[in-house]
Amino acid sequence: MDTFTLNNGVEMPVLGFGVYQVPPEDTEQVVAKALEAGYRSLDTAAAYQNEDAVGRAVRSSGIPRDQLFITTKLWIQDNGETGAGPAFQNSLQNLGMDYVDLYLIHQPFGDVYGEWRVMEQIYNDGGARAIGVSNFTSDRLLDLIIHNEITPAVNQIETNPFYQRAVENEMMTEHGVRQESWAPFAEGKNNLFSHPTLSAVAEAHGKSIAQVVLRWLIQRGIVVIPKTVNPDRMAANLDSFGFELSPQEMAAIADLDTGKSMFFDHTDPEAVARLSGVKME
């Protein structure tokens, strides 16, 4: 698996496996299939409530821990300096691990500065090999960078052909933050899997539209974590290497950008209120 080098020298696989919306009761089996297919990077979160199932699948796989890259995330209710430390320890306990490879602030709300100070200490103590954020807009990300010692290694944000985040990508590249895509397929919105532009590119390479989208992201230097519970699609997503999109094909896909989220805007007050009100049991 190819890797991107994060701003602290840690190597992160360019393609990982996400478990968002995988039911906790199915997660262990799904992750086991993903590991069997060849994935070595797994993305979970406290809010997904399936960290324990991810951990069980990892232990059952027999794959040495140092050959895996595990990401989890801090949820909003575990807020500030008092909440972040215990929340991280709870995630480690759920995963059954001594450390994670990447620990992210899941949403840009609440006392993220207090949380970041705790996360810097977690990083310095070796609890996480890298720390970063998720869903941070450019202004919030830059403010965090300016006013703290450690620059986030990653910002995991919605990125797909219809919401490409080119301006954000330029800013992150300038400051050494690696962009990571969630919802790379936009959950099929805008008829992504039958879009004529993507279909033409896929046909030219003898690949699927999903493989073309993953290749497009990787060529942009973006880490991607597609989710599927289908073993055949797991294998197909891993087969997104060995071909390259031309500048003309990259430009054609660039023209699909709407500049708008396919899901929700993190600057919308209603979205802020809704997300901030989500509490885990």
- Of 220, 209, 219, residue with least CA distance to 186: 209
Q: Is 48 among the catalytic positions?
A: yes
- Radius of gyration, alpha carbons of the chain: 18
**Residue 252 amino acid letter:** A
Catalytic residue selected from 20, 39, 48, 113? 48
Q: Cα-flanking dihedrals φ and ψ of residue 265, to 5°? A: -100, 120
Q: Are strands 223-224 and 131-134 parallel, antiparallel or unpaired?
A: unpaired
Place of tokens 């300038």: 174
Give Cα separations from 24 to 48, 50, 59 (angstroms): 8, 5, 16
- DSSP letter (8 states) at residue 151: P
Give the other-Cβ count within 10 Å of 56's Cβ.
18
CA atoms in the 13 A half-sphere facing the CB of 253: 27
Q: Are strands 11-13 and 17-18 parallel, antiparallel or unpaired?
A: unpaired
Place of tokens 């990508």: 169
Helix H or strand E encompassing 25: helix 24-37
Distance between CA atoms of 44 and 18, rounded to whole angstroms? 6
Asked if residues 19 and 27 have their Cβ atoms less than 8 Å apart, the reply is yes
**Residues annotated as part of the active site:** 48
